[in-house]
């Protein structure tokens, strides 16, 4: 399993992802699920991936090849809108899945992969999209300006309670880390290291990209402060009328 999310606030976009991959309990490993494609000053994209590892790796290889090839007609370096980029990633993903479809039809292997793509192209607004295994895509709702892929439920309540359009990029970043921490506590198929990237609106480059191990100083401090804070809030909740 996997847990990745992107939060779109007025001041930019937060991206966060875990790193655990597993194909059964005997094949547990760590791969980055966060990939950036930037032409500083012109465009910046971050892609988060979940699902079949062979599919996501093949998609990433093709996206990178096309991006780096200045003769390619269509790539993340040529598209004119973020939704165009989402459409392109969806098509590449479908093509990769179709290529291996025949040989996996008789097995129970699921080739599906989901992606979150976010970023900005100069002169256009910043945006995020969730790309389904079928290649189609959605943007977040106005009331819940975030998108999740993978093991999404454990980490959703804290997003619903904290995130608004006006949340600062740093608070949204901490909220993403707490959302991931909640998920890791509840599901062993989601695991460290955690990657966090902050994109500031009109920055046209990734402003911050940090990788946090489970026992990194900041992870430990955040987890302790969060746990202590929650317990304090619980102590202060209104008593039942019989207490």
Q: Please report, as ranges, the residues that interact with a copy of itself according to CB under 8 A.
A: 153-158, 160-162, 170-171, 173-175, 182-183, 185-186, 208, 210, 218, 221-222, 225-227, 229-243
How near is the Cβ of 142 to a copy of itself at its closest, in Å? 17
d(CA 189, CA 26): 12
How near is the Cβ of 150 to a copy of itself at its closest, in Å? 12
Any idea which residue has 């998609």 for tokens? 59
Closer CB to a copy of itself, 122 or 225, in the complex: 225
Give Cα 201 distance to the centre of its chain.
17
Closest to 148 (Cα-Cα) out of 88, 204, 199, 190: 190
How near is the Cβ of 197 to a copy of itself at its closest, in Å? 12
Closer CB to a copy of itself, 98 or 231, in the complex: 231
> Are 51 and 20 spatial neighbours (Cβ–Cβ below 8 Å)?
no
d(CA 45, CA 37): 5
Sequence-ordered list of residues with C-beta below 8 angstroms from that of 201, at least 6 positions apart, any chain: 10, 11, 12, 120, 126
How near is the Cβ of 73 to a copy of itself at its closest, in Å? 39
How near is the Cβ of 126 to a copy of itself at its closest, in Å? 20
How near is the Cβ of 192 to a copy of itself at its closest, in Å? 17
Token output for 239: 């008593």
d(CA 76, CA 83): 11
Closer CB to a copy of itself, 132 or 226, in the complex: 226
> 219: helix, coil or strand?
helix
Dump strand ranges (E) for the chain.
3-9, 12-17, 20-22, 28-30, 34-39, 43-51, 113-121, 127-131, 137-138, 146-150, 194-200, 208-212
Closer CB to a copy of itself, 73 or 237, in the complex: 237
């Amino acid at each position: 399993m996997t847990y990745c999310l992107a939060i779109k606030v007025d001041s930019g976009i937060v991206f966060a992802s875990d790193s655990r991959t597993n194909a059964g309990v005997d094949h547990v490993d760590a791969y980055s699920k966060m990939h950036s494609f930037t032409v500083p000053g012109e465009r910046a994209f971050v892609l988060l991936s979940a699902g079949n590892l062979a599919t996501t790796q093949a998609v990433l290889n093709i996206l990178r090849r096309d991006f780096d090839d200045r003769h390619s007609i269509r790539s993340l370096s040529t598209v004119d809108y973020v939704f165009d980029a989402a459409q392109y990633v969806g098509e590449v993903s479908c093509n990769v899945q179709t290529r291996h479809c025949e040989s996996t039809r008789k097995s129970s292997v699921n080739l599906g992969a989901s992606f979150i793509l976010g970023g900005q192209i100069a002169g256009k607004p910043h945006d995020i999209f969730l790309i389904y295994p079928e290649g189609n895509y959605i943007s977040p709702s106005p009331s819940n300006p975030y998108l999740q892929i993978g093991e999404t439920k454990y980490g959703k309540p804290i997003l619903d309670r904290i995130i608004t359009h006006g949340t600062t990029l740093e608070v949204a970043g901490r909220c993403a880390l707490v959302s991931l921490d909640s998920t890791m506590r509840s599901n062993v198929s989601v695991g460290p290291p955690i990657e966090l990237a902050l994109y500031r609106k009109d920055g046209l480059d990734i402003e911050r990209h940090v990788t946090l191990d489970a026992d990194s100083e900041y992870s430990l401090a955040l987890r302790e402060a969060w746990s202590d804070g929650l317990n304090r809030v619980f102590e202060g909740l209104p008593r039942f009328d019989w207490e």
